[in-house]
Amino acid sequence: MLHITLHQLKIFESVARLLNFTHAAEELHLTQPAVSIQIKRLEEMVALPLFEQIGKRVHLTEAGKELFHYSRGITQQLVDMELAIDELKGLDRGKLSISVVSTANYFVPNLLAKFCQRYPGITISLHVSNRESVLRQLADNMMDLAIMGQPPEGLDITSESFMKNPLVIVAPPNHPLCSQKQIPVKQLEQEIFLVREPGSGTRNAMERFFAREKVSIHKGMEADTAEAIKQAIQAGMGLGIMSLHTIRLELEAKRLKILDIQGFPIIRHWNVVHQKNKRLSKISSVFKQFLLNEASDLVALEYPHHDIATI
């Protein structure tokens, strides 16, 4: 009989899922040697290798694949057990794990603060990452809820929109276009655009819009955070398409300005997402309803050229 501890199983599941000892150690808040030692002990117990390294990449062996299959089932049962216990405790206690794309982090903490005022006994774990990482966490069922823009395709998920997400074109205040009104989209072919990484929801929306308008733009710097794009725009490196939620402080400080471009803002939506067959805890269900019912009123936005509420 194998005497595998839950601690070892959790470490193995993380390494097997990420196929990277360093990333698993970071996720588990352990040192890499500690992770390696536990995996070695597990292999000694099983009497078979669980991982093999080919070049610089780590792969699961056949024994590793079998153990990974069962470990995921055991891990999910433990999560379900914890949810059942939390529900018996009611809304005074409980855990809420949320994963959000980096752009959403500009408003999600404020919503969480208001939610915690109502339910002060809960514990919240907030994971902020790019879209690709959030989708991977969603596929691996690593969180209760995810908040993102465009819902993913090809996953068996439930997605509901809870708030508008206007995308605007932003420039430094001294840019010549700042003094113009109702600028034709075709005129943007003369500008350089600073863009998010491939796969970003903002970039996908941008590329779909310009393709539909048959406008070819020049792409300059590419960055994987909204902060990097904002700093580059302020430095005069080009224009950017950004969520209105990300630039509120810069607009108030007059460090950035929204251009009045025909066809803008592009109205997208924020969505709360989870696996369709996922059993939501009571606190997760309550937070989801909180987003659907109240988020748009709690996160007020002002747009200088249009009334977003009527779009």
pLDDT digits (tens, 9 = 90+) for 211-253: 999 999 899 889 988 899 999 999 999 999 999 999 988 999 9
- In Å, how far are 123, 206, 228, 287 from 114, measured between CA atoms? 14, 32, 28, 11
Same-domain pairing of 115 and 187:
no
- For the residues 265-271, what does the mean pLDDT come to? 92
My answer on whether 249 and 296 are in the same domain is: no
Residue 135: predicted pLDDT: 86
Residue 93 maps to a domain: yes
Contact 185, 248 (CB under 8 A): no
Would residue 302 count as lying in a domain?
yes
CA–CA distance, 160 with 296 (Å, rounded to integer)? 13
Residue 1 lies in a domain: no
Residue range 187-209: mean pLDDT, rounded: 90
Which residue(s) pair with 157 in the sheet?
275
Query: Do 45 and 176 fall into the same domain?
Result: no
Query: Is residue 38 located within the same domain as residue 95?
Result: no
Q: Output the CA–CA distances (angstroms, integers) from residue 184 to 33, 226, 299, in the order listed.
A: 58, 25, 30
Q: What's the domain range around 13?
A: 6-75
**pTM assigned to the model:** 0.68
Note whether 20 and 98 are same-domain residues. Answer: no
pLDDT > 90? residue 194: yes
One domain for residues 240 and 304: no
User: Same domain, yes or no, for 213 and 285?
Assistant: no
The CA-atom distances, in angstroms, between 200 and each of 133, 138, 160, 206, 224 are 11, 16, 19, 10, 8
**Residue 103 half-sphere exposure, CB side, CA atoms within 13 Å?**
30
Give the model confidence (pLDDT) of 58-99 as tens digits: 899 999 898 888 888 787 777 777 766 666 666 556 788 999
Domain with residue 172: its CATH number is: 3.40.190.10
Q: What is the CATH number of the domain that holds 38?
A: 1.10.10.10
- Three-state DSSP at 97 gives strand
CB-CB contact of 217 with 210 (8 Å)? yes
Q: Does 150 fall in a domain?
A: yes
CB 111 within 8 A of CB 287: no
Q: Is residue 15 part of a domain?
A: yes
Whether residue 173 is found in the same domain as residue 250: yes
Euclidean distance between the first and final Cα of the chain, in Å?
Answer: 64
Q: Are 106 and 245 in contact, with CB atoms under 8 Å apart?
A: yes
The average confidence (pLDDT) of the chain is: 86
Structural domain count of the chain: 3
In a domain, 21, yes or no: yes
Same-domain check for residues 97 and 212? no
Q: Are residues 127 and 150 in the same domain?
A: yes
Q: Are residues 255 and 283 in the same domain?
A: no
Q: How far apart are CA 289 and CA 284, in angstroms?
A: 9
187 with 263, same domain: the answer is: yes
- Cβ-contact 182, 260 below 8 angstroms: yes
Tokens of 126: 């907030």
